Amino acid sequence: MTARRPRLIRLIRRPDGNGVGVFSITQDCRTQYYVFKEIPCAIGGRAFAVHRIGLANVYHVRVGAPKESSCECLGFLRHGRCKHVQGLAALIGHGML
């Protein structure tokens, strides 16, 4: 059993004039692409609507201090963390968003 490979997040397209951008998350040789758009957030942190290309699901992701972070995906509901929050936090941490 080998350890899981590190997850890689890439900003594919910076947010355009409408605030819509694209990032990808690569793990275990699979890459998934997400369209995202920052949305207003009055309760702390930064909020994004994230839509995985090819699927109908839209997740509302909030990124900030731990208590300001949330996501609507199953992973976050189960474990309190997920690749969407971690990925966007990484892009923000690198000053890319």
Q: Which residues bind Zn ion (CB under 5 A)?
A: 71, 73, 76, 82, 84
Select from 72, 35, 63, 28 the least CA-distant residue to 51: 35
Q: Is the dihedral of CA 36, 34, 24, 72 positive or negative?
A: positive
For residue 24, which phi and psi values (nearest 5 degrees)? -130, 150
Nearest residue (CB) to Zn ion, 21 versus 71: 71
Nearest residue (CB) to Zn ion, 23 versus 76: 76
Q: At its nearest, how many Å lie between Zn ion and the CB of residue 27?
A: 13
Q: At its nearest, how many Å lie between Zn ion and the CB of residue 17?
A: 27
Nearest residue (CB) to Zn ion, 21 versus 61: 61
Q: At its nearest, how many Å lie between Zn ion and the CB of residue 73?
A: 3
3-state helix, strand, coil in the chain (%, to 5): 20, 40, 40
